[in-house]
């Protein structure tokens, strides 16, 4: 019988990950290079040093919604019965492996809850995402780190929020207490060797309680829909708020809740792949129409859409749920430091005054 | 960060504000380590502007990309005000050379610059959570953090681009705020970083760029932050018809994009270093442009963004040219 809570000592972390990697496709946050400190989730390889004491710059989105993934492979082959013709052959992508995301943050796990609404909960079910989601476990850290860009409590989450996670990792002195949050987590627990002691569990409880009491971020942003709709046509507002936007894709690519994609057929000679790749509503081509018309011709309409999607259209469609997990990556990563909290908070001000 | 220079900047702008359509400058950002560009359209808002060690963004990028700015200034017969550091002023010169902007539609506030801080260098040295202020005293940066005050040598925190800056003083301006600053580097040492890469064997050089560019997300922040990337929505990296680059994010796509980006800038890049600063994956992409600039200097004795009347060598043709 496996204990309900286990312990990983800091000095056993990499050997534990080595063991887990035998059973799972394992995703961990690692620094890209020693001096350049971009931490991103990568498939684990022996020798990698995970960075668990700070939030990753690029979260685990790639594990469930890869930047590029093959939807199907195709080839044209000569028809043996009718050699003048070619026949199309289709090949399904490989089924997903058992995967484990180790060291996510509550904000990272929350991002996937938003994806689930879109890809798994109907009316349209994306088989590829759903299959991968079902075979992926998420081990989430109780978050002790926050900086000026974090605002998870403003979106209805918080540093101890375990919604959407399968295992809880609680950092205590000398290591991590690991707790299964559901039955799915059992295969992970079986790999771990050391049960958590009473003292370690008590230390973990303390860390969890303290984290649960922390409020990260300012004003509540979950009820911004009505004020967004009132602001929609107020281009002066968008000009004031986001004129400095460069219309690059950083905010959308680092965002755990941005899921927009493009589908293209990439072909060479008589074979190719249909791929799904991340797209960004910040790009001109995202809404460019074949006629040449573009309904979002400038960065102002594009940024407005980003705010509208997260705080207006998404909750309208999905029972009030907003499509923002408060991780702050878009703020930290923005080359011109646009603060989406400010844009969302200020929606209210004079639109209410006008009303 | 209210310094006497910031106050002086406010005064200078207020004096001329009636002549301006708007003023592009920096204001405080989401924390004490960041500023954000701001477009000031009312004299009442001039006090929002700030100037100092954190004003990293090259604001001239808005001039060439948002053509409505110049159009509005022509319409109102006013000027676009803009704050420029030394490096940014070279971009202004380049944009005038490229005939993308009109000199007499600009009111340029030149800001002699000691360099800007790379906040990631701060983050590598102390917890950035809870930092309440950053100020400078001489060559020392004093940072008020959650656990008390920390002092650093300015040199230690400067962005790479600032460590190799030859032109800290604006080359073109209508007024200057601040004292002239001496460059930190000698002309012969400007290309030291790229010389290191040149010193590698071809194989190692390829390996270096493979390792670096492998991280690229194709977010195009480097392109969009560049004052000279003005193809905008027609960039070869994104066009669908013809479709030059696939949607894959493998090395060939990344190499093609970055090297085409750099080639388009050969002889035009003013080395403001914005492409490198904005990269979310910390890829030293300016190095590619530095190499091209080094070659341009060696072959054609030309440095971009110094003289509005000079003709950039790669946009002209001289049949008597020798040595190429």
Give the tens place of pLDDT for each residue, B129-156: 899 999 999 999 999 999 999 999 999 9
- For residue B320, the distance in angstroms to the closest alpha carbon of chain A comes to 42
Question: In terms of domains, do B160 and B221 share one?
Answer: no
Tell me what the mean pLDDT of segment A268-285 comes to: 95
Name the burial class of residue A198, with classes exposed (0-12), middle (13-18) and buried (19+) by CB atoms within 10 angstroms of its CB: exposed
Taking only the tens place, the pLDDT of each residue in A194-232 is: 999 999 999 999 999 999 999 999 999 999 999 999 999
pLDDT of residue B254: 95
**Contact in structure between B215 and A33 (CB atoms under 8 Å):** no
pLDDT of residue B2: 54
Taking only the tens place, the pLDDT of each residue in B42-51 is: 999 999 999 9
- φ/ψ bin of A247: left (φ > 0), alpha (ψ from -120 to 50), beta (otherwise): left
Question: What is the phi/psi pair of residue B315, to 5°?
Answer: -110, 15
pTM: 0.95
**Would you place residue A353 in the very low, low, confident or very high pLDDT band (cuts 50, 70, 90)?**
very low
CA-wise closest residue to A312 among A224, A202, A213 = A224
- Contact list in A for residue B233 (CB cut-off 8 A) is 284-285, 288
Taking only the tens place, the pLDDT of each residue in B97-107 is: 999 999 999 99
Nearest by CB to residue A264, choosing from B35, B38, B247, is B247
Residue A254 host element (H or E): helix A250-254
Range of the domain at B299: 191-315
Establish if B202 belongs to a structural domain. yes
**Would you place residue A351 in the very low, low, confident or very high pLDDT band (cuts 50, 70, 90)?**
very low
pLDDT of residue B107: 98
Establish if B79 belongs to a structural domain. yes
Residue A109 host element (H or E): helix A106-119
Do the chains contact at A284 and B232, CB–CB below 8 Å?
Answer: yes
Query: A273 forms bridges with which residues in the sheet?
Result: A73, A266
Do the chains contact at B238 and A283, CB–CB below 8 Å?
Answer: yes
Establish if B185 belongs to a structural domain. no
Question: In terms of domains, do B153 and B280 share one?
Answer: no
Establish if B218 belongs to a structural domain. yes
Do the chains contact at B31 and A148, CB–CB below 8 Å?
Answer: yes
Two structure tokens written together for A236: 């002066």
CA distance B266 to B289: 7
- Answer whether residue A3 shows pLDDT above 80: no
Tell me what the mean pLDDT of segment B280-289 comes to: 95
- Answer whether residue A300 shows pLDDT above 50: yes
**Contact in structure between A158 and A149 (CB atoms under 8 Å):** no
ipTM: 0.94
Nearest by CB to residue A32, choosing from B29, B128, B281, is B281
CA distance B100 to A115: 43
> Number of A:B CB contacts under 8 A?
121
- Answer whether residue A355 shows pLDDT above 50: no
Tell me what the mean pLDDT of segment A260-271 comes to: 93
Q: Domain count of chain B? A: 2
Distances (CA, A) of B39 to A334, B1, B43, B48, B128: 17, 19, 11, 10, 28
The sign of the torsion formed by the CA atoms of B7, B12, B16, B21 equals negative
Residue B28 sits at the vertex; the CA angle it makes with B23 and B29, to the nearest 5 degrees, is 115
- Contact list in A for residue B32 (CB cut-off 8 A) is 148
Question: In terms of domains, do B37 and B159 share one?
Answer: yes
Do the chains contact at B129 and A148, CB–CB below 8 Å?
Answer: yes
For residue A252, the tally of other CB atoms under 10 A from its CB is 22
Nearest by CB to residue A336, choosing from B37, B211, B239, is B37
Do the chains contact at A337 and B232, CB–CB below 8 Å?
Answer: no
Establish if B182 belongs to a structural domain. no
Residue located via tokens 């200078």: B12
Taking only the tens place, the pLDDT of each residue in B57-113 is: 999 999 999 989 999 999 999 999 999 999 999 999 999 999 999 999 999 999 999
Two structure tokens written together for A252: 């959308």
Establish if B155 belongs to a structural domain. yes
pLDDT of residue A354: 44
Do the chains contact at A249 and B249, CB–CB below 8 Å?
Answer: no
Question: In terms of domains, do B159 and B296 share one?
Answer: no
End-to-end CA distance of chain B: 50
CA distance B159 to B275: 12
Taking only the tens place, the pLDDT of each residue in A71-109 is: 999 999 988 889 889 999 999 999 999 999 999 999 999
Q: Domain count of chain A? A: 1
The domain boundary residue, chosen from B176, B203, B221: B176
Question: In terms of domains, do B207 and B170 share one?
Answer: no
**Would you place residue A352 in the very low, low, confident or very high pLDDT band (cuts 50, 70, 90)?**
very low
CA distance A24 to A166: 14
Chain B interface disruption, residue of A65, A71, A148, A159, most B CBs within 10 A = A148
Range of the domain at A170: 5-353
Question: In terms of domains, do B38 and B114 share one?
Answer: yes
pLDDT of residue B110: 98
The domain boundary residue, chosen from B176, B210, B226: B176
Lowest mean pLDDT among A73-77, A303-307, A350-354: A350-354
Strands of the sheet with B133-137, listed across from one edge:
B133-137, B140-145, B148-153
């Amino acid at each position: 019988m496996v204990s309900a809570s286990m312990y990983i000592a800091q000095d056993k972390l990499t050997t534990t990950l080595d063991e887990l990697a035998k059973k799972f496709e394992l995703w961990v946050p690692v620094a890209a290079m020693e001096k350049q400190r971009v931490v991103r989730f990568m498939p684990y390889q022996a020798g990698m040093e995970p960075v668990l004491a700070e939030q990753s710059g690029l979260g685990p989105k790639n594990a469930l919604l890869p930047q590029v993934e093959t939807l199907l492979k195709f080839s044209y082959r000569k028809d043996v019965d009718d050699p003048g013709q070619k026949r199309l052959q289709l090949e399904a992508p490989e089924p997903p492996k058992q995967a484990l995301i180790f060291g996510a943050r509550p904000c990272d796990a929350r991002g996937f809850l938003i994806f689930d609404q879109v890809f798994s909960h109907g009316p349209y079910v994306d088989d590829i995402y759903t299959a991968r989601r079902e075979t992926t476990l998420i081990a989430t850290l109780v978050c002790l780190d926050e900086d000026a860009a974090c605002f998870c409590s403003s979106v209805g989450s918080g540093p101890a929020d375990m919604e959407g996670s399968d295992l809880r990792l609680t950092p205590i002195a000398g290591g991590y207490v690991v707790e299964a949050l559901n039955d799915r987590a059992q295969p992970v627990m079986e790999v771990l060797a050391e049960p958590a002691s009473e003292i370690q569990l008590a230390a973990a409880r303390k860390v969890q309680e303290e984290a649960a009491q922390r409020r990260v971020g300012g004003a509540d942003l979950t009820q911004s829909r009505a004020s967004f709709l009132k602001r929609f046509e107020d281009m002066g507002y968008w000009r004031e708020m986001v004129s400095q936007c460069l219309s690059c894709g950083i905010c959308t690519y680092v965002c755990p809740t941005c899921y927009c994609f493009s589908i293209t057929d990439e072909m060479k000679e008589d074979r190719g792949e249909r791929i799904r790749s991340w797209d960004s509503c910040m790009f001109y081509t995202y809404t460019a129409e074949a006629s040449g018309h573009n309904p979002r011709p400038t960065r102002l309409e594009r940024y407005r859409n980003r705010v509208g999607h997260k705080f207006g259209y998404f909750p309208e469609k999905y029972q009030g749920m907003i499509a923002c997990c408060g991780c702050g990556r878009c703020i930290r990563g923005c080359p011109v430091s646009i603060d989406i909290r400010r844009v969302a908070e200020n929606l209210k001000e004079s639109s209410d005054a006008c009303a | 960060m209210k310094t006497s220079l910031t106050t002086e900047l406010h005064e200078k702008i207020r004096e001329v504000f009636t002549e301006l359509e708007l003023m592009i400058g920096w204001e405080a950002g989401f924390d004490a380590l960041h500023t954000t560009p701001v477009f000031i359209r009312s004299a009442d808002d001039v006090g929002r502007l700030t100037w100092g060690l954190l004003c990293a963004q090259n604001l001239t990028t808005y001039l060439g990309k948002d053509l409505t700015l110049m159009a509005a200034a022509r319409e109102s017969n006013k000027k676009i005000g803009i704050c420029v550091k030394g490096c940014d002023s070279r971009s202004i010169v380049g944009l005038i050379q490229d005939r993308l902007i009109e000199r007499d539609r600009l009111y340029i506030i030149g800001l002699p610059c000691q360099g800007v801080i790379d906040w990631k260098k701060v983050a590598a040295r102390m917890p950035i959570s809870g930092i309440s202020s950053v100020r400078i005293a001489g060559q020392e940066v004093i940072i008020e953090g959650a656990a008390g005050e920390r002092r650093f040598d300015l040199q230690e925190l400067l962005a790479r681009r600032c460590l190799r800056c030859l032109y800290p003083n604006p080359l073109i301006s209508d007024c200057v705020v601040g004292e002239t600053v001496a460059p930190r580097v000698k002309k012969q040492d400007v290309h030291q970083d790229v010389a290191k890469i040149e010193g590698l064997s071809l194989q190692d050089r390829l390996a270096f760029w493979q390792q670096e560019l492998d991280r690229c997300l194709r977010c195009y922040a480097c392109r969009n932050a560049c004052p000279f990337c003005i193809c905008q929505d027609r960039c070869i990296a994104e066009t669908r018809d013809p479709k030059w680059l696939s949607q894959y994010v493998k090395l060939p796509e990344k190499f093609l994009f970055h090297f085409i980006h750099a080639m388009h800038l050969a002889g035009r890049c003013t080395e403001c270093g914005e492409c490198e600063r904005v990269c979310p994956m910390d890829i030293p992409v300016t190095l590619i442009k530095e190499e091209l600039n080094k070659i341009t200097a060696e072959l054609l004795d030309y440095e971009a963004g110094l003289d509005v009347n000079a003709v950039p060598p790669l946009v002209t043709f001289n049949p008597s040219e020798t040595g190429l």
